[in-house]
Structure 1
Amino acid sequence: MSFIRYKKFGNKEYAYEVTSYWDPEKKKPRQKTKYLGVVVDKEKKIFKKKRREKLILDFGDTYFLNQFINRVTFFENIKKDMFLALIFYRLCYPSAMRYARMWYDGNIVRKFFDVDISSQRISEFLEEIGDESIQREFFKEYIRQITPSEGIVIDTTALPNQINIPTSAWGWHNEEIEKQIKLLLVIDRSTSLPLFFRYIAGNIVDVSTLKATVEELKKYGVSRYFVILDAGFFSEENIKELYNEEIQFLIRLPSLRKLYKRLIVEESRELESYRNAVRYGRRVLFVKQREVELFGKRVYAYVVLDPERKGREMRRTLLKVMDEIEEGEEEEMEYILMKKGIMILISSSELDRENVISLYYTRQIAEKLFGFSKDDLNLLPLRVHKEETLRGYLFLQFASLVVYSLLKRELGRDYTVEEILLTLRNLKCKVYEDEIIVQELTKQQRKIFERFGIMVPKRVGI
């Protein structure tokens, strides 16, 4: 059993953890004491140990990020020091928040931002920025600066977790039922930047999330745009809502719809024709346009066949079922083979056959950003226990993703974000009483800084 004992020396109060235990040799109860540090907040049990000052620090990565991020004004209305310190941590060392203090102690970031980056203070800060009014002010300014010009992409991903809050609910993920929260991301198609996010209870299906998303975007001045959606958002209610809001759309038609089967039967046999051939990168696809009626509206259907995918899918299916088909099932199997390699896209407006595929595949921007969030920024696992903290954590991840995306866009294909930050981390500095001396740059480090037009000082005052 443990308790905290406080002792006062001079004008400071110190905390010690006292633990009682049984001494088997002396056969009597004893106590051992552990020093916790100087009392910062007695009520919240926040203590601070005097740390041994490190005299050689990582310099290049956070100096680079600090210079780069000064070019944008998205974060001006947020408590900047703590917010930027945590963004730098997510980008430079994307690990659990409890390790942030270790990273902070060994990095020049502690000379840029004098903040308490303990686990408890981070939790409190995430709860602070989870405030809806703070996030609304941010999105108001951020979306004003981005202003989608060529449309948006909307998509969702599941965030499996074991958090005990109402939003974490059982839902389908990877063909299994898991406890999860859904993250909805809106992306600007022209810049590939994340534009807006929402989180939704894990038991709410994608199709039910579109109307509220459209309404929230209107509050930030985003309306009458072109939206690209996956089949999970397809429903009569959603299609009619898009028409009511005068939003043009391109959406994949689910394979269980009657219209899908009708178009497959009517169009698939004559689809592989030279007049329907379309070049897509180094591949050739077959695309046929057809005007159809959908929920009382005239829309354009695009039947798209990928011959390479069709070959792979037919081979797998036939090898699996050839010896199991019974009499009377041949007709059903003909339809199954007929739809292999085909997807059907529905658009509210007529599009060029040559552009409809590349337009739809801009959806992959969302998949890539979800991948960056989970793999590069360690979005998972979620380690929060209050809904306010969850909102703040997802907001921090969103802001980190914005900076990540801005960096990636400027880097092109020459470098990855991870590569440049690891390269720049190796640029060290030495801390003296009155100034910081920056060590020599390698050729590659100099090249990165020059690419971004960032000057690296030889010495920095303290």
Structure 2
Amino acid sequence: MSSQVKVKAKNGRIYVYEVDSFWNKEKKKPDSRRKCIGHINELTGEIVPNRPRAKSGSGFRQSKSGSRITVTGCGSFSIVDKAAHETGVIDCLRRVFPNHWPYIMTCCQFLASAGDPLYLIDRWSAHNETYLPDGLISQRASELLPCLTLSKQQEFFRTWIAHNGSKEYFALDITSISSYSEFISMVKYGYNRDHEPLPQINLLMITGQKSRLPIYFMPLDGKIKDVKALKSVLENQTMIAPKTLSLIMDKGFFSLYNLEALYKNHFHFALGVPFTSRIAREAVEKYRDKIESHYNVVSVSGNEVYGATDLQKWEGHRLYLHIYFDSDKAAGEKKAFNHKLHTTYEALCSGEKIKDEEFAEKYFIIKETKVRGRKVLYNDEAIESHLKNRVGWFVMVSNFIKDKKEALAIYREKDSVEKSFDDLKNQMDMKRLRVHSEEAMNGRIFLQFIALILTVWIRQKLSEAKWAKKYSYQEIMNEIGELKKISEQGKRKNLTLQTTSLQNQIIELFGLK
């Protein structure tokens, strides 16, 4: 007969023992055996099982002297630890999370090297060197998430932004992450970047233009539009950074309200302007017939466009209006536009389903009569207006960048955020949230954010060495992850198993010990 008994230890932890009662024939009296099966989690009250001991053949053996020999993967720890120290993120974590930073770094090491869901950390942790001597199991990782509170995260962001300096330009963008949890209030039906209606949250991120390192993120309601998302940053600006941020944003964030708010909050900004705005339409009208002049040629990264700058006043503020025309881009856009016109026209005539109904409504006139049936006509005025005023043109505004060449170069560099989003969703398992509470969601995204910083730094090193064309990021992490360390109980010196040629190159490139 078996039962469970709880015993409180001196350290305050409550252990659970499984007790088997039986009749002892030798002693001729009742007896029992007990085995510790785990301890009680203080937060949930649930039993946390003990970690299983390593079985034979799992990487442990006895030497002839009887001492214990351990074979552990050390490559992923070496490269992630190098990234953590070079970026300074580990110092910021130690300062803000003095008790939790080893757990945070172990989770982020797993996410950056394996890219698998966090619930698979158990086996990986048992066979790799980490920031925790005894490794980490998925249940401990789940318990960590609620500890990464929003107030602590904001404290980290302030420390991290201060570490990255105030002279950096920062790109801002937004992406969506799907989730089917009914217990997270931010999860709402909205259209993702591929225009698919899904339950999701939106994730706003700010990234350094030069370093390309992420410096701040904010989860937002799944229905929120880009233009409204900027309001959240403006409201939190003094909380995350006491000094002025210089934000580079695409035209999805433009509105007259946002322009006024950026000035009011003393932000430096460079912002793309959509052609739905009067500012862009009037700028193109002014320069349509005179921008294609050799005096206006601007060359950025070997690409030549025509550009002009107007200094204007907006609500009493100084505003630099930069107008660009790219003749090569215009030819490509015109060809694509005409192709879409043709395919839409054929679909309308045949009665097929239209993919872009807004496009069809804008550029076609459809007449239905009982006698002649359906008649489809091109809206020549709308088509001519698009080709004259939009194709090949780009307009941006800034309150601090005077030079048209500098403005264009800085704006084109803002793809760092998009690359970070790509890493976040494809490299590190964040296409879908696998948590079911708001606290866990905030903690989970924070872990992913730290792992993204490490990933971006490693990827940058590979790119600088021109390795990106030869090897993928995951190929490099898998290769260095195979590096093994042999340690013997009672001896300080460790041995490393024979390294491959590629492992030696990785060690040399990153300067690993």
State the 1:201 CA deviation.
0.8
Which amino acid in structure 2 is aligned with residue 119 of structure 1? S
Structure 1 residue corresponding to 2:141, chosen from 105, 122, 129 = 122
Identity of aligned residues (%): 21
Structure 1 residue corresponding to 2:408, chosen from 357, 367, 373 = 357
How many aligned residue pairs are there?
A: 429
State the 1:295 CA deviation.
5.0
State the 1:330 CA deviation.
2.2
Q: Name 1:13's counterpart in structure 2.
A: 17
Change (3 A) 1:136 1:291: closer
Which amino acid in structure 2 is aligned with residue 39 of structure 1? G
State the 1:387 CA deviation.
0.4
Structure 2 unpaired stretches of 5+: 8-14, 21-34, 61-70, 346-363, 366-376
Q: Name 2:37's counterpart in structure 1.
A: 38
Q: TM-score scaled by structure 2?
A: 0.76
Matched, 1:168 2:219: no
Q: Name 1:189's counterpart in structure 2.
A: 209
State the 1:12 CA deviation.
6.8
Correspondences of 1:14-413 after superposition (within 5 Å)? 14=18, 38-41=37-40, 43-48=45-50, 49-52=52-55, 53-55=58-60, 56-70=71-85, 72=88, 73-76=91-94, 77-78=96-97, 79-109=100-130, 112-115=131-134, 117-129=136-148, 131-164=149-182, 165-173=184-192, 174-292=194-312, 294=314, 297-321=317-341, 324=345, 329-338=379-388, 339-349=390-400, 351-413=402-464
Question: Is the 1:148–1:189 Cα contact (8 Å) retained in structure 2?
Answer: no
State the 1:67 CA deviation.
4.8
Which amino acid in structure 1 is aligned with residue 457 of structure 2? L
Larger Rg belongs to = 2
Question: Is the 1:37–1:50 Cα contact (8 Å) retained in structure 2?
Answer: no
Q: Name 2:482's counterpart in structure 1.
A: 426
Question: Is the 2:16–2:39 Cα contact (8 Å) retained in structure 1?
Answer: no
Question: Is the 2:174–2:205 Cα contact (8 Å) retained in structure 1?
Answer: yes
State the 1:283 CA deviation.
2.1
Partner Cα distance (1:9, 1:184) in 2 = 46
Which amino acid in structure 2 is aligned with residue 205 of structure 1? K
Partner Cα distance (2:229, 2:6) in 1 = 59
Question: Is the 1:148–1:188 Cα contact (8 Å) retained in structure 2?
Answer: no
Partner Cα distance (1:68, 1:440) in 2 = 24
Q: Name 2:67's counterpart in structure 1.
A: none
Change (3 A) 1:204 1:433: same
User: Which moves more between the two structures, 378-387 or 48-57?
Assistant: 48-57
Partner Cα distance (2:105, 2:236) in 1 = 26
Change (3 A) 1:294 1:60: same
CA deviations over 1:29-59 (Å, ceiling 9, x no partner): xxxxxxx982333840322333424234322
State the 1:85 CA deviation.
0.9
Q: TM-score scaled by structure 1?
A: 0.84
Which amino acid in structure 2 is aligned with residue 13 of structure 1? Y
Question: Is the 1:253–1:260 Cα contact (8 Å) retained in structure 2?
Answer: yes
Question: Is the 1:82–1:115 Cα contact (8 Å) retained in structure 2?
Answer: no
Which amino acid in structure 2 is aligned with residue 425 of structure 1? G
State the 1:442 CA deviation.
3.0
Question: Is the 1:170–1:177 Cα contact (8 Å) retained in structure 2?
Answer: yes
Q: Name 1:21's counterpart in structure 2.
A: none
Partner Cα distance (1:203, 1:68) in 2 = 35
Structure 1 unpaired stretches of 5+: 17-35, 456-462
Change (3 A) 1:15 1:342: farther
Which amino acid in structure 2 is aligned with residue 96 of structure 1? P
Question: Is the 2:296–2:306 Cα contact (8 Å) retained in structure 1?
Answer: yes
Matched, 1:445 2:445: no
Change (3 A) 1:57 1:242: same
Which amino acid in structure 1 is aligned with residue 275 of structure 2? S
> SS state of the match for residue 337, structure 2?
helix
Partner Cα distance (2:19, 2:316) in 1 = 73
Q: Name 1:454's counterpart in structure 2.
A: 512
Change (3 A) 1:118 1:15: farther
State the 1:305 CA deviation.
2.0
State the 1:292 CA deviation.
4.3
State the 1:297 CA deviation.
4.3
Q: Name 1:458's counterpart in structure 2.
A: none
> SS state of the match for residue 209, structure 1?
helix
User: Which moves more between the two structures, 77-86 or 43-52?
Assistant: 43-52
User: Which moves more between the two structures, 427-436 or 244-253?
Assistant: 427-436
Partner Cα distance (1:90, 1:15) in 2 = 39
State the 1:388 CA deviation.
0.5
- Alpha-carbon RMSD across the aligned residues, in angstroms, is 2.9
Change (3 A) 1:115 1:137: farther
> SS state of the match for residue 385, structure 2?
helix
Change (3 A) 1:152 1:428: same
